[in-house]
Structure 1
Amino acid sequence: MKIIPLIFLIFIHVSCYKVLVFNPAFGASHSNFLGKISDILIDAGHDVTMLIPISMESKKDLVGSKKVSKIIKIDQDPRSRIMQEEAKTEEMIKKQIWKLDADITIFFSMIKNFSIASGYQCEHIFQQTVILDQLRNEKFDLGITESLFLCGFPLFDHIGVKTVINADSVLYLDVVRYAMGEPASTSFYPGVFSKNNDKMNFLDRTRNLFGMAFSWYFSWSRFQGEMDAIKPYYNKSLTWEEHINGAAFYLINSNQYLDYASPTLPKTVFIGGMQVNTKKNGKVKLDKDWDDLLNQRKQNVLVSFGSNAFSSDMPDEYKKAFLEVFESMPDTTFIWKYEEANATLADHLPNVKLTTWMPQNDLLADDRLTLFVTHGGLGSSVELAYQGKPSVVIPLMADQPRNAHMLTRHGGALQLDKALLDQPNEIRKAIQTVLSDSNYKTNAERLAKILEDQPNKPKDVVLKHCDFAVKFGDLKTLNSEGRNLNTLQFYSVDIVLVALISFFIVLLVILLLLICVFRKCMRLMSSEKRKVD
């Protein structure tokens, strides 16, 4: 009997593989997503190393995982840092996000600088020869990167990592679908930055098409900048499309039971929700302070606008409106994520808790939390969906409008325009509508039940596809030939054109024949008439 545990240990050792995760310090949601994948692999006994190039100085401490012990950091490229400091892009977004149009095209002017900075950063990474030699000697079995930046793909190839997985912390990236040859479905599938749902009129479909084209251009310009910057160090002739399509799988932070339906290829794998711990798996527990706070009143509302939009940077009229709403509902506890330490603006309201940080997922998992007022970031949207919490969604920018209508169609969320944030009556009306109508709670809980009972659990999907990729690599049989077709061929427009041309040629021939026959008949009739005369 003692042989069995020994065999089991040998099996674990043999099946263990080495993984390199390319996780730039750029944004919390991106780092946390790749960090969670790393945690899943570590829990399964695999050896994970995380390479963290610092893309923004303010994000230099981001890791996204508490389990990864092997971490290699690369400082931010000096040219890139100077560009960011001069542009003050991050500060501008935080200050102006509250009133800017949510459409991503407002950032069109930033594309050029962002692409140049991305190129500088990728070049800087390729210049770290000592680190790259160290990584090359590790002989990793699998590389995982995100197509937010292209740099990870040629880097893996440069250091000899043969099998790569592309893992995106956002929904479908239009440029990735293009590279893979996957249908864009612009007539019924909302793009990442779309304000419309899947029921679109002509004008909506036109906006969706141009939105996807803009998203594609935004990524394309960045990818080209990175590829051009590393030419002195990376001499292979692979295009950015070939790098992306060469990944064994495309893991996306989407869930088929939450998101809109769309045609996909075998390489596309849905893992949305793999990062969420629910109370059913026994991993949710609140500290005493939070537990006591939720016990004070029967209704508890969490208000948070994520890690990029700070409530402390709100226009004063917005803050005043929220405080007025909180004051008008004294029987409800409001937990407000407010990023200014020791702020005193709500000291006169005993039902308001200001905090620079809170255990969001654990609070959402608690039955005593009644409502979530959120900006609709993808991470928050997935968490509230899994925890079955009704919500008021106030999208601010980028993909948040899409996430908002993705949630509202399930019946557990109500969307509020951010332009109304200076009107306390509108905020109060939205909150009280969701609190008073039990259908919101019922629908939110039903969605959570669907996600809980889905046939394939996202965590298992991540692990199984990583295992499969290590075992078999990039299966070319999973590639679509659609990626090699131009637009006319892909949508069979050339066939339609040939058919139309052929139809008109046949129609013209028939018409000419009829004209000839008619003229012949007229001649015969004219000849007979002359004979009669």
Structure 2
Amino acid sequence: MRLCIVPLLLACIGLAEPYKILMYTNLFGHSHIKMLGAVSDTLTDAGHDVTVLMPVIDFKQEDKTAMKSTKKIIKVPPGQDTSTTIAAMDKFMTQMWTSDNSNPLFMAFHAPAMSAIFASQCRKVLEDKELLERLKAENFDLAITEPFDTCAYELFDAIKIRAHVAVLACSRLDHVSSTIGQPIAPSYVPGTQSTYGEKMTIGQKFMNILHFVMGDFLFGYIGDEDYKVAKELIPGVRSWREVLPEASYIFTNHIPLMDFPAPTFDKIIPIGGISVKTQRKSLQLPEKWDKILGLRKKNVLISFGSNARSIDMPVEFKKSILKVAELLPEVTFIW
């Protein structure tokens, strides 16, 4: 009987061992950085050995990793052309307030500029043979990335990590749905770049299809440009279009009850709210903010995300918000 217990105990020890995990997350777009940072810290806090590879695309985000407990971070400095292309991207971002976002061609028009940014940084990562050998020698059990930029999939294939999962900072991405075979249903599911709801006229449904097609084209174009760089540097490497569908799971940042109803399947798992800290110690406000929020009975936080920056907002838009604030003296507006 005792001889049977020993192998069982050894098996339990094996199951209790932490996994070695490689997280690939670009420093680009704070909401994306925060989501992947939350996943990294969650895994680290659970006892796993997490290494984060962070190619620096936007140098303004370099010190904003959004991670606290994860300490093993490898940063790849910007590529030779990245600084130039990101400056051009900044100019594009200033147009977010005045551009016609309902036009499905809006994002597609900027596909070459966006792809140049990611392809430049992809080259910087994949041409570092010493880094690739170092990562390969780690023998990671699992890799994680967000397929917003797909260079990670060529990296995973190059260093022979077969088990990987995807994490989305949103509910869905058109090119991911297309690549993994997720049903689209554009007659009632708004595309990622769409401005419509779940109830659409015939004309709006047609436009929604175009939004999906253009969204798929935009990120697919970025991914294909990454792959051109990858196969130039690493002969025989597989494309993201082949590697991404092999993801064991697709974790999405959405709460189904608060989202548009949409077709899905079992390997798509919602983890909405993972980046929100709910521990008691995290709910205690610093003294500064406690005083500000205590000035009036009601408070309103104004934020438009990391893409539509308030600093780029037209003056007339800002004046409109200020006029609304003047009409509500009992409310503290935080902008």
After TM superposition, the score normalised by the length of structure 1 is 0.58
Query: Equivalents in 2 of 1:12, 1:311: separation in Å?
Result: 51
CA contact (8 A) 1:25 1:61 kept: no
Please, which runs of 5 or more residues in structure 2 have no aligned partner? 1-8
Amino acid of the structure 2 residue aligned with 1:203: G
Residue 97 (structure 2) aligns with: 98
Amino acid of the structure 2 residue aligned with 1:196: Y
Shift of 1:171: 2.2
Residue 83 (structure 1) aligns with: 85
- The C-alpha deviation readout for 1:80-121, integer Å capped at 9, x for no partner, is 322333xx3213423x32222233632333211222332222
Larger fraction in helix: 1
Task: Please say if 1:14 is aligned against 2:13.
Answer: no
Amino acid of the structure 1 residue aligned with 2:283: V
Task: Please say if 1:249 is aligned against 2:249.
Answer: yes
Matches within 5 A, 1:338-487: none
**Residue 295 and residue 60 in structure 1: after superposition, are their counterparts in 2 closer, same or farther (change >3 A)?**
closer
SS of aligned partner of 1:257? helix
CA contact (8 A) 2:154 2:237 kept: no
Residue 320 (structure 1) aligns with: 319
Residue 291 (structure 1) aligns with: 290
Please, which runs of 5 or more residues in structure 1 have no aligned partner? 1-6, 337-533
Query: Equivalents in 1 of 2:321, 2:179: separation in Å?
Result: 45
SS of aligned partner of 2:231? coil
Greater gyration radius: 1
Q: CA RMSD in A?
A: 2.2
- Aligned to 1:40, which of 21, 39, 42? 42
* Dislocated runs of 4+, deviation >4 Å: 10-13
CA contact (8 A) 1:189 1:261 kept: yes
Shift of 1:57: 2.7
Query: Equivalents in 2 of 1:98, 1:113: separation in Å?
Result: 19
Residue 335 (structure 1) aligns with: 334
Matches within 5 A, 1:129-140: 129-140=129-140
Residue 146 (structure 1) aligns with: 146
Residue 66 (structure 1) aligns with: 68
Query: Equivalents in 2 of 1:63, 1:17: separation in Å?
Result: 22
Query: Equivalents in 2 of 1:189, 1:307: separation in Å?
Result: 24
CA contact (8 A) 2:107 2:214 kept: no
Shift of 1:26: 0.8
Query: Equivalents in 1 of 2:44, 2:237: separation in Å?
Result: 35
SS of aligned partner of 1:131? helix
Shift of 1:39: 0.9
- The C-alpha deviation readout for 1:431-475, integer Å capped at 9, x for no partner, is xxxxxxxxxxxxxxxxxxxxxxxxxxxxxxxxxxxxxxxxxxxxx
- The C-alpha deviation readout for 1:137-166, integer Å capped at 9, x for no partner, is 111111001111111111012112121111
Query: Equivalents in 1 of 2:298, 2:289: separation in Å?
Result: 14
SS of aligned partner of 2:290? helix
CA contact (8 A) 1:189 1:198 kept: yes
Residue 224 (structure 1) aligns with: 224
Query: Equivalents in 2 of 1:13, 1:267: separation in Å?
Result: 23
Residue 300 (structure 1) aligns with: 299
Provide the aligned length of Structure 1 versus Structure 2: 325
Amino acid of the structure 1 residue aligned with 2:50: V
Shift of 1:35: 0.6
Shift of 1:230: 1.4
Shift of 1:54: 1.0
SS of aligned partner of 1:231? helix
Residue 24 (structure 1) aligns with: 26
Amino acid of the structure 2 residue aligned with 1:191: G
Matches within 5 A, 1:265-284: 265-278=265-278, 283-284=282-283
Residue 177 (structure 2) aligns with: 177
CA contact (8 A) 1:153 1:164 kept: no
CA contact (8 A) 1:24 1:54 kept: yes
CA contact (8 A) 2:25 2:55 kept: yes
Residue 208 (structure 1) aligns with: 208
Shift of 1:11: 4.4
Shift of 1:282: 6.2
Shift of 1:328: 2.8
Amino acid of the structure 2 residue aligned with 1:269: I
Residue 53 (structure 1) aligns with: 55
Amino acid of the structure 2 residue aligned with 1:292: K
- The C-alpha deviation readout for 1:476-526, integer Å capped at 9, x for no partner, is xxxxxxxxxxxxxxxxxxxxxxxxxxxxxxxxxxxxxxxxxxxxxxxxxxx
**Residue 216 and residue 45 in structure 1: after superposition, are their counterparts in 2 closer, same or farther (change >3 A)?**
same
CA contact (8 A) 1:122 1:229 kept: yes
Shift of 1:306: 2.7
